[in-house]
Amino acid sequence: MLGSNTKTIQLCAATGFSNRKECTDSRKTVTDRPEPIYPAKKQKIGSAFDASDSRLSTDQVKEVYRRSASPLISLEYSNGWDPLDKGRNGNGFSQEVFESFVFNLGEVEGATQCFLEVNLLGKSNFSAIYKGFLRDGSFVAIKCIAKTSCKSDEAEFLKGLKILTSLNHENVVRLRGFCCSKGRGECYLIYDFMSNGNLLQYLDVKQGSGYVLVWSTRISIINGIAEGIEYLHGSKGNKPALVHQNISAEKVLIDRKYNPLLSYSGLHKLLADDVVFSTLKASAAMGYLAPEYTTTGRFTEKSNVYAFGMIVLQILSGKRKVTQFITRQVSEASRCEDFIDTNLEGKFSESEAAKLVKIALLCTHESPNHRPSMDNVMQELSGLVGSS
């Protein structure tokens, strides 16, 4: 799938790394599985230890929390916050959904070896991500979100959590489960682990680095991203139509077969508005935000189409930064070959490249009314096979 060099499979965050060095420094083979630490019995949701247990004094319980705490723990938030209590009482999830998705804190701690620093994959202002290893032998990525970064209305929080459980598509990162800890004041989201990091790691790379994607893989990734966005925009069964609020190369994860999966899908439904807004700074700097967002402050299906077009241009050029000046040059040029990543050494289909450039330029049109829908994009993409 890549060039001539093979590379060690990387254990990267479910949300990926923005810095390739961070990811490279954390590389391990998939056989380096951590020894999980599981409790002898299932613990109550909300705490790994029951404070009423006669074997532990209150001070001892606090000491256990202090030693095994994730970086976002703050005991001041421990009073009263227990959104899953409503879920258990029938106000949030059906019993079947609740039981199939809920994890207890003991399982989360066991998977991450009590949040060992070595398992920490990355941190942001509102979350931390750990790699984990479940009882069934699967690798997962566990996102820890502080309660203060979540929606304060527990009913809204539960509604957002239900939306996450409804997502089921091969090009959308799957939620394996969740856990809300009253004692820690944190929510934990357990996702499938993506062994090949994120798309950003494959941009601005050098020939021979082992990160150069061949043409057929680029075509496959473009198609997969389009299918994932189209799925989010549609409504089916108990899944409502969704508009992704932070599409970027960093949010496109790559699995072991180099299939792309959208992360962060629906996550804005859980997070406080100011947190959602703060996550957009990087996207704005990289050019993913549609021009109309600066005046409307709203995300629409057409703003998702714009971000998709920018990602297509990044994949074709192999560059992280694609400016409006570059896109104008491409649109005005009679040949698009000079825009294609030189690392491909000419091994690509000129007709497919021309078609993809045309699609990308339509998607990034300044006016949302002139951009195609994702349904139309999928029709345009049909027939591309990635020949070189």
Task: Assess whether 175 and 251 both reside in one domain.
Answer: no
pLDDT at 58: 35
Which pLDDT score, from 0 to 100, does residue 158 have? 87
Q: Is 59 helix (H, G, I), strand (E, B) or coil?
A: helix
Residues 52, 33: Cα–Cα separation, whole Å: 34
- Give the DSSP H/E element, type plus range, for residue 363: helix 350-363
Q: Is 228 strand, coil or helix?
A: helix
3-state secondary structure of 189: strand
Task: Say what the pLDDT of residue 154 is.
Answer: 84
Torsion of Cα atoms, 298 then 299 then 300 then 304, to 10°: 150
Q: How far apart are CA 312 and CA 363, in angstroms?
A: 9
* Same-domain status, 76 and 203: no
Please report the pLDDT score of residue 334 as a whole number: 63
pLDDT of residue 279: 85
Same domain, 223 and 166: no
DSSP at 2: B
Q: Tell me if 13 is assigned to some domain.
A: no
CATH of the domain at 29: 3.30.200.20
Structure tokens that stand for 84 in this block: 């899953």
CATH number of the domain at 269, please.
1.10.510.10
**In this predicted structure, what is the pLDDT of residue 318?**
96
Domain span at residue 334 reads 199-381
d(CA 232, CA 168) in angstroms, rounded, equals 10
Q: Domain total for the chain?
A: 2
Question: Other C-beta atoms within 10 Å of 39: how many?
Answer: 14
Buried/exposed 152-181: b ≥16 CB within 10 Å, e otherwise: eebeebbebbbbbbbbebebbbebbbbbbb
Low-confidence ranges of the chain (pLDDT < 50): 4-32, 40-79, 87, 91
What does the pLDDT look like over 46-58, one tens digit per residue?
A: 333 333 333 333 3
Q: Is residue 2 part of a domain?
A: no
In a domain, 7, yes or no: no
Residues 169 and 267 in one domain: no
Contact 252, 199 (CB under 8 A): yes
The Cα 221–Cα 254 span in angstroms is 9
170 shares its domain with 291: no
pLDDT at residue number 131: 95
Considering only CA atoms, which of 252, 266, 12, 275 is closest in space to residue 124?
275
- Whether 11 maps to a domain, the answer reads no
User: Domain boundary at 192, 207, 231, which?
Assistant: 192
Domain boundary among 144, 166, 192: 192
Q: Are residues 236 and 131 in the same domain?
A: no
Do 257 and 168 fall within a single domain?
Answer: no
Q: For residues 181 and 240, state if they share a domain.
A: no
Q: Which of 31, 34, 1, 30 is nearest to 195 (CA)?
A: 30
User: Distances in Å between the alpha carbon of 218 and those of 223, 227, 324?
Assistant: 9, 14, 22
